[in-house]
């Protein structure tokens, strides 16, 4: 069985993403791999007034930072030795494939099959996009 060195898990608060996080924690611990937990601030779901309101955008970012730090502590408490957390902005699938993966250089991406919110939840699958275009192995958790 292949051992991975750096695992990237994409999270939002959807049930599938939380299952993906659980699996990523288990796999990182088993492989003694670095775990990078990433979430994407979806600025396309904000209306024009929200996007122009710096307090709103900062509030959304702060809430996302708090969530991702909680996930980081969860992984550390489970025994993963090297855990990083990061936030990106944009459309989730494209941002992870075109920006996060080239920056982080993981050898496995773990994601949930359904997103919690956003236009893409209804008009196409982020998971399918990432599975198709990611230059690394992708595991989709349901």
What is the secondary structure of 81-110 as a DSSP string? S-EEEEEEES-HHHHIIIIIHHHH--SEEE
CATH number for the domain spanning 111: value is 3.40.50.620
At residue 64, the pLDDT reads 82
Question: Residue 26: inside a domain, yes or no?
Answer: yes
Question: Residue 132: inside a domain, yes or no?
Answer: yes
Question: Residue 29: inside a domain, yes or no?
Answer: yes
Question: Residue 1: inside a domain, yes or no?
Answer: no
Number of Cβ within a 10 Å radius of residue 30: 12
Residue 121: domain span? 6-141
Q: Does residue 37 contact residue 11 with C-beta atoms inside 8 Å? A: yes
Q: What is the distance between the alpha carbons of residues 119 and 23, in angstroms, rounded to a whole number?
A: 26
Question: Residue 100: inside a domain, yes or no?
Answer: yes
DSSP reduced 3-state for 75: helix
Question: Residue 23: inside a domain, yes or no?
Answer: yes
At residue 14, the pLDDT reads 86
Count of the separate structural domains present in the chain: 1
Q: What is the distance between the alpha carbons of residues 137 and 134, in angstroms, rounded to a whole number?
A: 7
The pTM of the full predicted model, rounded to 2 decimals, is 0.84
Pairing of strands 137-141, 83-89: unpaired
Question: Residue 83: inside a domain, yes or no?
Answer: yes
At residue 46, the pLDDT reads 45
pLDDT along the chain (142 residues), means of 10: 94 90 97 96 55 49 85 97 93 94 98 66 71 96 90
Question: Residue 16: inside a domain, yes or no?
Answer: yes
At residue 22, the pLDDT reads 97
Q: Does residue 110 contact residue 139 with C-beta atoms inside 8 Å? A: yes
């Amino acid at each position: 069985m292949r051992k991975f060195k750096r695992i990237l898990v994409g999270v939002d608060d959807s049930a599938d993403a939380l299952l993906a996080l659980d699996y990523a924690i288990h796999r990182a611990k088993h492989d003694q791999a670095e775990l990078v937990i990433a979430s994407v601030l979806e600025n396309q779901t904000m209306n024009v007034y929200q996007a122009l309101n710096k307090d709103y955008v900062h509030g959304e970012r702060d809430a996302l930072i708090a969530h991702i730090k909680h996930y980081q502590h969860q992984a550390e408490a489970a025994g993963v030795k090297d855990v990083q957390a990061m936030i990106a902005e944009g459309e989730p699938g494209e941002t992870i494939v075109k920006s996060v993966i080239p920056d982080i250089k993981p050898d496995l991406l773990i994601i949930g099959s359904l997103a919690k919110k956003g236009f893409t939840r209804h008009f196409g699958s982020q998971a399918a996009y990432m599975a198709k275009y990611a230059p690394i192995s992708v595991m989709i958790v349901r």
